[in-house]
Amino acid sequence: MQLKENFVEALIGAVVLIVAALFVGYAYTRTEMGQGSGGYQLVARFPSAVGINVGTDVRVSGIKVGAVVAQELDPQTFQARVRFTVRKGVELPVDTVAKIASEGLLGDSYIALSPGGEMDVLKPGEEIEQTQGSVDLMGLIGQAIYSVGDKKDDASPAPAPESQP
């Protein structure tokens, strides 16, 4: 009886290990780690890079084509200097625009690349000249609330003049 119980426990343990190995293999093939470091790096400078971190997606037309690999503060311009990869086969024109966008009101931020119409393409290590930083949603909400409060005060009716007998 003891041998039978040990065999069942060993069999269950082996099944758990096989399932774990399959999961790790699946995750490896579906992530950047399994795709190698193929591609090339580009640079963009943003006035504000709020929400962008190493590993943040880089997308063209909503499709992930790369990821942020480094970010630093440029000491001369005080702008965020962001380095990111773009996978092989995606050749971006030199007039490409990079902007920081977000997936809805509470979604993650990502870098959205909008290719232009130039025939010349960006080479590895080159910088995207046209950028747009992230939008400060909390600042915009605060501004909207403050401006509604001001309009409410302005819209209050003036006191009626007193009539004379």
Q: Do 16 and 83 sit in the same domain of this protein?
A: no
Q: Do 25 and 47 sit in the same domain of this protein?
A: no
Segments forming the whole domain that contains residue 119: 37-135
Judge whether 153 lies within some domain: no
Judge whether 147 lies within some domain: no
Judge whether 157 lies within some domain: no
Report the 3 state secondary structure along the chain: CHHHHHHHHHHHHHHHHHHHHHHHHHHHHHCHHHHCCCCEEEEEEECCCCCCCCCCEEEECCEEEEEEEEEEECCCCCCEEEEEEECCCCCCECCCEEEEEECCCCCCEEEEEECCCCCCECCCCCEECEEECCCCHHHHHHHHHHHHHHHHHHCCCCCCCCCCC
Domain count, the chain: 2
Q: Do 66 and 103 sit in the same domain of this protein?
A: yes
Q: Do 9 and 53 sit in the same domain of this protein?
A: no
Judge whether 53 lies within some domain: yes
Q: Do 25 and 43 sit in the same domain of this protein?
A: no
In tens, the pLDDT along 6-42 reads 888 888 988 999 999 988 887 766 665 544 456 899 9
In tens, the pLDDT along 52-104 reads 999 999 999 999 999 999 999 999 999 999 999 999 989 999 999 999 998 87
pTM of the model: 0.64
Q: Do 73 and 13 sit in the same domain of this protein?
A: no
